[in-house]
Amino acid sequence: MAAQQPIPVYTNLADLYGNLGTTLNHAERWNHLAEEFQKRFGRKPAYIARAPGRVNLIGEHIDYCLFGVLPAAVERDILIACAPRSTPHPPSEPHHEAGSVIAENLQPKYKRQIFTPAPKRKGSVSEDQVHIEDWDLDINTKELRWESYVKAGYYGVLNNYFVGQGLPVPVDILVTGTVPAGSGLSSSAAMVVASTLMFLAVNNKLENNFKGTGDQITKGQLVEMAVMNEKRVGVNSGGMDQAASVISVPSSALYISFFPTLSAVTTPLPPGAVFVCANSLVVSDKAVTAKRNYNLRVVETLTAARILARHLGVRVGKDEKITLREVVGRLAGEVEEEGEMSLEKLKEALQKIDGELAVLKPSASDRLGLTMEEMVEMSGLSEAEFNDVYLSWVEVEATHFNLYKRARHVYSEALRVLQFRQVCLDAAASSSSSPIAVIEALGTLMNESQTSCRDLYECSCPELNELTGLAIKAGAYGSRLTGAGWGGCTVSIVAEDNVDAFIKKISETYGPYKGLQGEELSEVIFATKPSTGACVFKFED
């Protein structure tokens, strides 16, 4: 199983990229990073950690409801070069303290940062004093700061490997990245995964002793750590991006399911289909808008799940945050200990549940949604219990809650993911299926997904609506927003022989692209090739 594999460590770029043509394209960037590191810090890097961004082909906003999704890693990635800094004894300056970090970024707008983790139980931090319970890194969640994602990755490493034993080394790091920030291609997860990997590698923790078990950390464990790490930045994300960034393999999409545990299997993509990403150039700052957008949706779907469970007579504990996935599972008699029910059974359950969702509608049809009071009452909990379970851990800002629309999106989108995957598997198994019919079928599902994101989940925006519309006019078979939405990128399915003409048409018709050419244009609209997952490059002495 892909999630059980160890993290690959390479000493040769050709092994990483698989063939020389691709290696040459990337080698320049890697060499430049290593040389720049040497210039700035006076020595060679010891490691470079790499984590790719991802494009989600279908399955939006359903990972935190524990439904399966279908992303693929893209070639664009984050690279972090690092080397331990030797500590004078006793440490004479703050940046020589245990675990202190000097972080630089090749992008000049991201300024040099110096930070040192503080043990929560203050006191002496010497190696033989093993009373450190927990570490603090003081992440600022109120504003977007590049180093927050570096700190987030560091958190998991400190709190899993340095509790009560040993001290992290001081380290210099240099970051570079080609995943555009706030574009829905998951630059944040790529940063957090690369940072987690880098701190593991530089502290010699990659190959041994995950959580004191003595075992080497697996890809699945790295995903879990990166998901927890990313929550430190203030977004209650599902696990899709981190899993795609860590586990992806070239040329396939990844069907990632989260229930009852994380699992990932590859899904072949049909030949002749190309996925083109186009950036709307509306920056979606997920962390800063979380209380009105992302985190609000998390709370809406969780509350919808409880109300639905209650209505359907599905068992749910008082303090439990049951998800929409668990509601259908329990309704269909799924036994968690036996693993996930068959996808056929899940499809049937999803088709059936649609008829039950009316219970989530507000009583007057002209109303925007449920008020907080109505929602609390329908949940069957007291106000204090409701606050404790659903609001004590997250900040949300809304006067009305659209549980009906959110649940309809989630269940229909979960079904579309299974249908999309089935079309891909059937096409791979049959030599007679017409390539265009396959692309059309996938495109239709992508279009339905966009309509649902726009009208039911309300996570699109005018520019994304315009761009998906232009994509269809330019010959795409399907087009949808990808990632959290409210800005960021679209993904369109285009026949291979039409890609260049498609990109040209979009560049002429989407207003914000007018006048862009060459590299500037390929920064904002580009065909993606499913790429390989995160890894570490080790420099040999």
Q: Which residues bind ligand NG1 (CB under 6 A)?
A: 56, 60-61, 63-64, 184, 186, 188-189, 230, 235, 237-238, 240-241, 286, 483-484
CB of 429 to ligand NG1, least distance (A): 28
Contact indicator for 53, 277 with CB cutoff of 8 Å: no
Contact indicator for 206, 7 with CB cutoff of 8 Å: yes
3-state secondary structure of 540: coil
Task: Report residue 144 as tokens.
Answer: 């977007």
CB of 297 to ligand NG1, least distance (A): 9
CB of 480 to ligand NG1, least distance (A): 11
Nearer to ligand NG1, 85 or 286 (CB): 286
CB of 53 to ligand NG1, least distance (A): 9
Ramachandran area for residue 405 (φ above 0: left; ψ -120 to 50: alpha; else beta): alpha
- Sorted by sequence, the CB contacts under 8 Å of residue 86 that are 6+ apart come out as none
Contact indicator for 246, 253 with CB cutoff of 8 Å: no
Contact indicator for 419, 22 with CB cutoff of 8 Å: no
Would you say the C-alpha torsion 393, 397, 402, 407 has a positive or negative sign? negative
Instruction: Give ∠ CA 383-384-388 in degrees, rounded to 5.
Output: 115
3-state secondary structure of 381: coil
Nearer to ligand NG1, 83 or 287 (CB): 287
- Cβ atoms within 10 A of the Cβ of 498, count? 16
CB of 6 to ligand NG1, least distance (A): 24
Contact indicator for 193, 226 with CB cutoff of 8 Å: yes
Cα(91)–Cα(187) distance, integer angstroms? 35
Residue matched to tokens 């003081």: 138
**Phi, psi of 333, deg, nearest 5:** 75, 25
Nearer to ligand NG1, 486 or 502 (CB): 486
What's the burial of 93, exposed, middle or buried (CB within 10 Å: 0-12/13-18/19+)?
exposed
Cα(370)–Cα(361) distance, integer angstroms? 8
CB of 21 to ligand NG1, least distance (A): 29
Which one-letter amino acid corresponds to residue 75? E
Contact indicator for 283, 487 with CB cutoff of 8 Å: yes
Question: Annotated catalytic sites, by residue?
Answer: 241
Closest-by-Cβ residue to ligand NG1 is 483
CB of 220 to ligand NG1, least distance (A): 16
Cα(515)–Cα(343) distance, integer angstroms? 47
Q: For residue 76, how many C-alpha atoms fall within 13 Å in the half-sphere facing its CB?
A: 24
3-state secondary structure of 140: coil
Of 67, 55, 70, nearest to 410 by C-alpha is 67
- Cβ atoms within 10 A of the Cβ of 26, count? 16
Nearer to ligand NG1, 160 or 188 (CB): 188
Instruction: Give ∠ CA 186-189-193 in degrees, rounded to 5.
Output: 140
Of 533, 443, 534, nearest to 254 by C-alpha is 533
Of 124, 132, 193, nearest to 161 by C-alpha is 132
117-135 core/surface letters (b: 16 or more CB in 10 A; e: else): bbbeeeeebeeeeeebeeb
Nearer to ligand NG1, 45 or 238 (CB): 238
- Sorted by sequence, the CB contacts under 8 Å of residue 209 that are 6+ apart come out as 161, 215
Residue matched to tokens 């699992």: 263
